[in-house]
Amino acid sequence: MPEVKTTCVPFKDLTNSDLYELLKLRSAVFVVEQDCVFPDMDDCDQKAMHVLLKVADELVAYARLLPAGLKYDGVSIGRVVTAASVRRDGYGKVLMQESIKHCQRLWPESTIKISAQQYLEDFYKGFGFTTESEPYFEDGILHIEMHLPPVAGS
């Protein structure tokens, strides 16, 4: 099995190559595959922590962690994306586990919020997220708001 490496870094510590690769992956999935024209570069990346999952030095999954107050009252995990070539290989699960772990490390007393595509509701429930909204359209795709409370004792 190829080596899997996950890193979590602030924007300033992304290499030019990493930034290019994560924007390329986000564009390939969100804009091209999902046929969704939306402002991906929303001025939040500079304030985010970036979780990159690489297999054999190739970026295959990515998520963005935002501090409280930027998108939601709590911290949030967003731009969660896995390359089509490795879906169903378990990397999305590893990415979410790592993203949650880093949120809890960085912001231990904060609820984690996500705006999830509705068809992935059960996937996120598997990590302990609970649904807190009715489905709504965001960029032409049905979404739901979900949250994960802080770990007890934080």
Q: What is the model's pTM?
A: 0.92
pLDDT tens-place string over residues 84-143? 989 889 999 999 999 999 999 999 999 999 999 999 999 999 999 999 999 999 878 899
Q: Could you tell me which residues come within 8 angstroms of residue 72 by beta carbon, excluding any fewer than 6 positions away?
A: 66, 113
* Contact between residue 28 and residue 83 where contact means Cβ atoms under 8 Å apart: yes
pLDDT tens-place string over residues 17-59? 999 999 999 998 887 777 777 667 788 999 999 999 999 999 9
Domain that residue 37 falls in: 4-108
- CATH code, 25: 3.40.630.30
Distance CA 47, CA 41 (A): 12
Is 129 within a domain? no
